[in-house]
């Protein structure tokens, strides 16, 4: 059975990512980017790089929420992964994700659905996004320079957008790209589809400039490339994630109360898990799925105390 590659994008809690790597085991190789803002110790880095299925560990970029760096990371890690011809699927996960099925269930799923792309998507403009979503891309948003997670930073970014609207400045990106699609940036693509996306992005020299200084281009670029390609016919409109949005525009941090839902869910993964809120839930999920959790303890010792 061919292996799969996981592009793991993290910014905190390295212990959690080590548990994820342990859980999925040697049938999955990992290409990891940790936010450069995160000051990992040499011991923490070594805990990753010593693992036989961690093929790349990088801290190349300082990442701000909403900026273009996340898009660059996915393409960078994807380029590295497709150099290995052995992978069947390229799976993009965040550092706050965790499987909710056994390892065997996950491997069987990808085997049974071979050739399908799992990409949650919708055409733009979309009622799911504020004002249809196009103003995310048609006005300059400086998330790479300004912390949009802070109250002052977000107000400053929004003020700049209001000024652009008042001055009738519009980048008209939708006129420079094929029909646009948006969706989740956590997805599972066949290796051939990832090869196509990276090749397309690299050949379209102006594409990076067009998506720079937009808001969350990672939630648009892969979707637009794929849905305007021959791979569109193989796309399932599902990212294989359980995510709760009951508290608003940000995913809920999952706690014990979600265990019955996750136990019966048909999804493969869930997010988001943040300790200590999610500690007991993670323990319950691991115990539930222990029949598929055959961790090679000798090979996968995290080394973190």
Q: Can you give the CATH number for the domain in which 202 is found?
A: 3.90.550
The total number of structural domains in the chain stands at: 1
Which neighbouring-strand residues pair with 59?
none
Residue 160 lies in a domain: no
Residue 10 lies in a domain: yes
Contact between 160 and 140 under an 8 Å Cβ cutoff? The reply is: yes
Q: What is the pLDDT of residue 176?
A: 86
Average pLDDT estimate for 121-139? 92
Residue 150 lies in a domain: no
Average pLDDT estimate for 163-177? 91
State the Cα–Cα distance between residues 55 and 70, nearest whole angstrom: 19
From the list 102, 119, 245, 86, the residue with the least C-alpha distance to 189 is 119
The domain containing residue 213 runs over which residues? 3-125+175-292
Tokens found for residue 136: 């995310």
205 vs 50 pLDDT, higher one: 50
Residue 213 lies in a domain: yes
Q: What is the pLDDT of residue 17?
A: 97
- Mean pLDDT (the chain) is 92
Split at pLDDT 50, 70, 90, the class of 130 is confident
Query: Would you say the pTM of this structure is higher than 0.85?
Result: yes
Residue 157 lies in a domain: no
Q: What is the pLDDT of residue 99?
A: 98
Confidence check: pLDDT of 303 > 70: no
Q: Match 């996968």 to its residue by tokens.
A: 300
Average pLDDT estimate for 175-198? 96
State the Cα–Cα distance between residues 78 and 31, nearest whole angstrom: 8
The string over 57-72, giving b where at least 16 C-beta atoms fall within 10 Å of a residue's C-beta and e elsewhere, is beeebebbebbbbbbb
Split at pLDDT 50, 70, 90, the class of 1 is low
Confidence check: pLDDT of 204 > 50: yes
Tokens found for residue 33: 């980017």
Residue 99 lies in a domain: yes
Tokens found for residue 281: 């839930």
Tens of pLDDT, residue by residue over 20-43, are: 999 999 999 999 999 999 999 999
Q: What is the pLDDT of residue 102?
A: 95
Tens of pLDDT, residue by residue over 89-113, are: 999 999 999 999 999 999 999 999 9
Contact between 183 and 121 under an 8 Å Cβ cutoff? The reply is: yes
Contact between 97 and 287 under an 8 Å Cβ cutoff? The reply is: no
Residue 165 lies in a domain: no
Q: What is the pLDDT of residue 292?
A: 44
Confidence check: pLDDT of 301 > 70: no
Phi then psi for residue 91, to 5 deg, are -115, 125
Residue 189 lies in a domain: yes
294 vs 272 pLDDT, higher one: 272
Q: What is the pLDDT of residue 173?
A: 86
Confidence check: pLDDT of 144 > 60: yes
Which neighbouring-strand residues pair with 94?
9
Share of the chain above pLDDT 70, in %: 95
């Amino acid at each position: 059975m061919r292996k799969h590659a996981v592009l793991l994008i993290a910014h905190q809690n390295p212990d959690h990512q080590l548990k994820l790597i342990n859980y999925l085991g040697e049938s999955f190789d990992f290409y990891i980017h940790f936010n450069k803002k995160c000051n990992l110790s040499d011991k923490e880095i070594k805990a990753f790089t010593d693992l036989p299925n961690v093929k790349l560990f990088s801290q190349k970029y300082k990442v701000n929420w909403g900026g273009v760096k996340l898009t660059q990371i996915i393409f960078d890690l994807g380029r590295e992964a497709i150099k290995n011809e052995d992978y069947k699927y390229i799976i993009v996960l965040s550092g706050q994700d965790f499987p909710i099925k056994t390892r065997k269930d996950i491997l069987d799923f990808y085997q049974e659905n071979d050739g399908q792309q799992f990409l949650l998507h919708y055409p733009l403009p979309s009622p799911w996004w504020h004002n249809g979503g196009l103003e995310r891309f048609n006005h300059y948003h400086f998330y790479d320079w300004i912390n949009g997670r802070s109250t002052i930073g977000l107000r400053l970014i929004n003020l700049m957008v209001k000024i652009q609207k008042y001055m009738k400045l519009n980048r008209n990106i939708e006129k420079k790209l094929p029909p646009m699609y948006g969706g989740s940036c956590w997805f599972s693509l066949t290796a051939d589809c990832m090869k196509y996306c990276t090749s397309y992005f690299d050949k379209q020299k102006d594409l990076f400039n067009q998506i720079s200084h937009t808001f969350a281009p990672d939630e648009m670029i892969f979707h637009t490339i794929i849905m305007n390609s021959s791979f569109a016919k193989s796309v399932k409109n599902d990212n294989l994630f359980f995510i709760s949005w009951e508290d608003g525009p940000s995913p809920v941090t999952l706690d014990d109360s979600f265990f019955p839902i996750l136990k019966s869910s048909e999804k493969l993964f869930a997010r988001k898990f943040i300790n200590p809120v999610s500690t007991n839930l993670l323990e319950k999920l691991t115990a539930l799925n222990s029949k598929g959790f055959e961790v090679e303890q000798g090979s996968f010792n995290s080394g973190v105390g």
